Amino acid sequence: MATTSAIRWRAPAWLALGAALALGAPATQAQQTPIKIGELNSYAQWAAFTVPYRNGWQMALDEINAKGGVLGRKIEIVSRDDGATTGSATRVADELVSREGVSLLFGSFLSNVGVAMADYANQKKIVYIAAEPLTDAVTMAQGNRYTFRVRPNNFMQVGMLVDQAKASGAKRWAIVAPNYEYGQSAASVFKRLIQERVPGAQIVTEQYPALGKIEAGATASAIEQAKPDGIFNVLFGPDLTQFVREGNTRGLFEDTTVLSLLTGEPEWLLPLKDEVPEGWTVTGYPWDEIKEPKHKAFIDAYRAKYNDTPRLGSLLGYMVMTMIRDSIERAGSTETDAIIKALEDAKFDTVIGPVTMRGIDNQSTMGAWVGKLVLKGAAGGMTGWTYKDGASFMPTEAEVKTVRKD
């Protein structure tokens, strides 16, 4: 009977193996399921920045997945165009979260869209990492525990430029900025900082043309009539090109100090070609002159992959993707609270050096390159530039606590 009983309860080897495989299959499949991350941006309307940006994050994604991904899983980016409007962006974000089941969101270009996305992230309790939106509101007035930003904001970059204004002696300032969230925010910061840091400074005219619809002749004429000795420019894209062309024709920039936000970035500098207004003090990205080994390796890999020179967007896209990888790895999961904890006060080793995500406002310490525009052959570049560490230009902890509602 003992022998019979033993035979009766001993499963055949093939059956035991099959059961083991069946039980192990779900775990194996789950392990192989990719981590889905949602990305949205204004690819159709602002291709000059966003397409190189997409190239940057795609290159980083390929590198990450070639090494096995993160937490033993590949990363899958589900990307959508945000339509460059707040309504379209939040609708697309909801599709990514509700239908695609993404673990977090990143991207956006326009500042008003970034503000809307920060509000969406707070409502839906999902992490949103702002790539390009620069308005201070994203991490200040509309700041919340779910929203993080990588690029230096308006307060930081304008502060870098105003520091350069002191030595110029200019006191009568004109402002020209696009009439939407980014332009209004940058202008507001400039008015505050120029009066705080340059005794006797005054604003003699403010021009706010509609984004993408500048009447360059009228704008330049209004500035000319105010007779400023300094101009603070926030225009970019086609608006910038038209304004520079009109200003050059009128001699508007001669004997005038010009501080210009973002104009040294290849996205906006290359279209100017040989019309580059030499001598402007700008924030930008002199990619071809940065010699650090990690950055050079990034440049070489980008040019080999895309047969093109990088833009600032390329660098930003690459950095955002690698920072997301590091955050998920540190979190040990894709749970929202774990990712937030992994991001707060986290230090990242990036291709431009150490960057910290400051915990009190979820703003990174990424800096910017500040220098003067110069014509190099048939195109423009930057000269006399220095990299300004963003940590030295951030709002104080007291300012953050005063403004943030969370």
Q: How many CB atoms lie within 10 A of CB 95?
A: 15
Distance CA 176, CA 199 (A): 21
Instruction: Look at residues 358, 378, 384, 406 and name the one whose alpha carbon lies nearest to residue 155.
Output: 358
Residue 67, classed as helix, strand or coil, is coil
**Residue in the structure block whose two tokens are 């090109």:** 241
pLDDT digits (tens, 9 = 90+) for 131-142: 999 999 999 999
Predicted local confidence at residue 31, as pLDDT: 53
Predicted local confidence at residue 378, as pLDDT: 85
Domains and CATH numbers, the chain: 32-153+290-365 (3.40.50.2300), 155-289+370-392 (3.40.50.2300)
Side-by-side strand order, sheet with 257-264: 202-207, 172-176, 230-233, 257-264, 281-284, 368-376, 379-388
Predicted local confidence at residue 361, as pLDDT: 97
The model carries a pTM of 0.91
Predicted local confidence at residue 42, as pLDDT: 96
**Residue in the structure block whose two tokens are 């500042």:** 111
Distance CA 214, CA 226 (A): 19
Counting as low any pLDDT under 70, the low residues of the chain are 1-31
| CB within 8 Å of 30: residues ≥ 6 apart | none
Could you tell me if 50 and 110 are in contact, meaning their C-beta atoms sit under 8 angstroms apart? Answer: no
Predicted local confidence at residue 2, as pLDDT: 39
